[in-house]
A and B are shown apart, each in its own frame.
Chain A
Amino acid sequence: MNIAQPLFQFHNVSVRFNDSTVIDNISFNVFKGEKCLIYGKSGIGKTTFFRLLLGFEEIQEGYILYKGEPVNDRSIWTIRKQVAYVSQDLDVGGGPVHLMIKTLFSYGHTRSFSDHTTKLMELLEFLNLDEKILMEEYEKLSGGEKQRIMLTIALLLRRDIFLLDEVTSSLDRELKNKVIRYFVENPAWTVLSISHDRDWLKRKEFKVIKIGS
């Protein structure tokens, strides 16, 4: 890959739902290893950027390139295998946490990372979670616990592109800053984060894309 080629290129992207404009003619690039923050008030459609990147919504105007290739129905399957996504919506599974993790690591593309016990324990400790949480029902966990489980899963995937959607919204300030630091301090990781939290904005490492006023 050409060094100067962006990992993601958003070019004049616009999205409208029911006559209301959610994204209006936005362009920006994200380079490999770069930390990028999509910042703006809650509810103005920041999540739509990730939904477009993951093929959950179809682009209406403009285009998005991933490693120089358009994001379309062919490339989307590769993109999904190369990014680690933490969704803002915490309803991502059910049943005991360890079974949920086991299922998510049973797919053809994630199976090779299923032997992750040591890494899992390290991550739980890092995120201030007791290992007993693995036996608990995911649906009964608090928002903060769910968020930390999703972060754990994303990190277990051992991918180097992160799409983080409001991943610290339910964490206390100390843990939140620890998580932000963790993501910005790894130079190999490309981090694309969505947040309306000023603590993310304070970090100088982020290239900020402001959405809305």
Chain B
Amino acid sequence: MQTPDISIISLLLCSLLLVVPFAASILFRLGTTRSMIFAVLRMVVQLFLIGLFLKYLFIWNNAFVNVTWLVTMIGVATFNVTNKIKLKLGVFIFPTFIAFVAATIFVLLYITTFVLRLESIVDARFFVVIGGMLLGNSLRGNIIGIDNFYSLLRRNTNRYQYRLAMGATVLEALLPYFKNSLRSALQPTIATMATMGIVFLPGMMTGQILGGLSPLLAIKYQIVIMIAIFASTTIAVNLTILFTLRTCFNRFGILRQDIFSQ
């Protein structure tokens, strides 16, 4: 069956459903009406722009443009991570960016080369789209992981220093905090995987089925994507913590207090 087109009139009809959240916001005086309007408008404009951009990206399908676009997305993701955690932008932006680049590019190239076996491994339809999905998902894990690691360490400075005083190396003394942070960073993806297909149908799979793909092929893509997200989040969190150690600890192995923005 052909996927039915959604006309502008249909989109406007769909927008009528927004009456419900807006009415709730006004009725219960949630104070969110202005931010709701702003969010809806932003979503529509951003998606139209990206739709337009992706259309040309697919037509050009130029390796340089595709890679540049992905690196730009990684830059924006990095800015988002460092902006959301209570740590100084200048200290974290570069290590986080390198960690994201390494994690996303490695997993992406693995998928396009060995799993999908594409002729062009930087084909826009896969490289940019899957790359964007990986970034969006590992972004959340990375924010949780980094925030957890440094705030936990700051709260437990005495415990950490006691381990150093016992003769532990920095890595040995950091291990419990690292394990804890990695666990909390991966928890959302683990929970999503465990409930997928029963509690909810994932967006990508639903989109492919709506686009006319067979459900069996759609679930195979979904499995590939989830495993890729799991791997890239793990790599990104590990590398971000590893790359920031050099700048966040002094030569005596002590956590620098000036890395915190608050």
A residues near B (Cβ < 8 Å) are: 54-56, 58, 73, 76-77, 80-83, 85, 87, 89, 91-94, 103-104, 106-110, 153, 157
Bound-complex Cα distance A4 to B91 (A) = 47
Among B164, B168, B251, contact of A54 (Cβ-Cβ < 8 Å):
B164
**Interface pair B252/A108, CB less than 8 Å apart:** no
Contacts of B159 in A (CB 8 A): 91-94
**Interface pair B162/A55, CB less than 8 Å apart:** no
For residue A157, which residue of chain B has the nearest CB?
B166
Contacts of A157 in B (CB 8 A): 166
Q: 26 A–B contact pairs at CB < 8 A? A: A54-B161, A54-B164, A55-B252, A55-B253, A55-B254, A58-B250, A73-B252, A77-B169, A80-B166, A80-B167, A85-B162, A85-B165, A87-B162, A89-B158, A94-B159, A104-B163, A106-B172, A107-B163, A107-B168, A107-B172, A108-B172, A109-B167, A110-B166, A110-B167, A153-B166, A157-B166
Give residues of chain B (223-260) contacting chain A, Cβ–Cβ below 8 Å.
250-254
Contacts of A106 in B (CB 8 A): 172
Which of A82, A85, A92 is packed against the most chain B CB atoms within 10 Å? A92
Contacts of A104 in B (CB 8 A): 163, 166
Bound-complex Cα distance A80 to B162 (A) = 10
Closest 8 CB pairs of A and B: A73-B251, A55-B252, A81-B167, A92-B162, A109-B167, A85-B165, A107-B168, A107-B172
Among B161, B169, B172, B176, contact of A56 (Cβ-Cβ < 8 Å):
B161
Give residues of chain B (117-176) contacting chain A, Cβ–Cβ below 8 Å.
156, 158-159, 161-169, 172, 176
Contacts of B176 in A (CB 8 A): 103
**Interface pair B169/A108, CB less than 8 Å apart:** yes
Q: Closest CB of chain A to B87's CB: distance in Å?
A: 21
Q: Closest CB of chain A to B169's CB: distance in Å?
A: 7
Interface size class of B (residues with CB under 8 A): 10 to 19
B residues near A (Cβ < 8 Å) are: 156, 158-159, 161-169, 172, 176, 250-254
| Number of A-B residue pairs with CB-CB distance less than 8 Å in the complex they form | 60
For residue A90, which residue of chain B has the nearest CB?
B158
For residue B168, which residue of chain A has the nearest CB?
A107
**Interface pair B164/A80, CB less than 8 Å apart:** yes
Given the contacts A73-B251, A107-B172, A108-B172, A93 and B167 also touching, CB distance less than 8 Å: no
Contacts of B253 in A (CB 8 A): 55, 76
For residue A104, which residue of chain B has the nearest CB?
B166
**Interface pair A107/B158, CB less than 8 Å apart:** no
Bound-complex Cα distance A91 to B159 (A) = 6
**Interface pair A80/B165, CB less than 8 Å apart:** yes
Given contacts A73-B250, A91-B159, A107-B163, 20 further A-B contacts (CB under 8 A): A54-B164, A55-B252, A58-B250, A73-B251, A76-B253, A80-B164, A80-B166, A85-B162, A85-B166, A87-B162, A89-B158, A92-B162, A93-B162, A103-B176, A106-B172, A108-B172, A109-B167, A110-B166, A153-B166, A157-B166
Bound-complex Cα distance A159 to B158 (A) = 21
Bound-complex Cα distance A73 to B170 (A) = 13
Among B156, B162, B168, B250, contact of A109 (Cβ-Cβ < 8 Å):
B168
**Interface pair B165/A54, CB less than 8 Å apart:** yes
Bound-complex Cα distance A109 to B176 (A) = 17
Contacts of B161 in A (CB 8 A): 54, 56
Q: Closest CB of chain A to B106's CB: distance in Å?
A: 30
Q: Closest CB of chain B to A34's CB: distance in Å?
A: 21
For residue B161, which residue of chain A has the nearest CB?
A56
Bound-complex Cα distance A83 to B164 (A) = 11
Q: Closest CB of chain B to A71's CB: distance in Å?
A: 10
Q: Closest CB of chain B to A109's CB: distance in Å?
A: 4
For residue A88, which residue of chain B has the nearest CB?
B158
Bound-complex Cα distance A103 to B162 (A) = 12
Among B167, B251, B254, contact of A107 (Cβ-Cβ < 8 Å):
B167
**Interface pair B165/A87, CB less than 8 Å apart:** yes
For residue B251, which residue of chain A has the nearest CB?
A73
Q: Closest CB of chain B to A81's CB: distance in Å?
A: 4
Bound-complex Cα distance A13 to B161 (A) = 22
Contacts of B158 in A (CB 8 A): 87, 89, 91-92
For residue A159, which residue of chain B has the nearest CB?
B167
Q: Closest CB of chain A to B196's CB: distance in Å?
A: 33
Bound-complex Cα distance A190 to B168 (A) = 22
Contacts of B162 in A (CB 8 A): 85, 87, 92-93
Given the contacts A92-B162, A93-B162, A56 and B254 also touching, CB distance less than 8 Å: yes
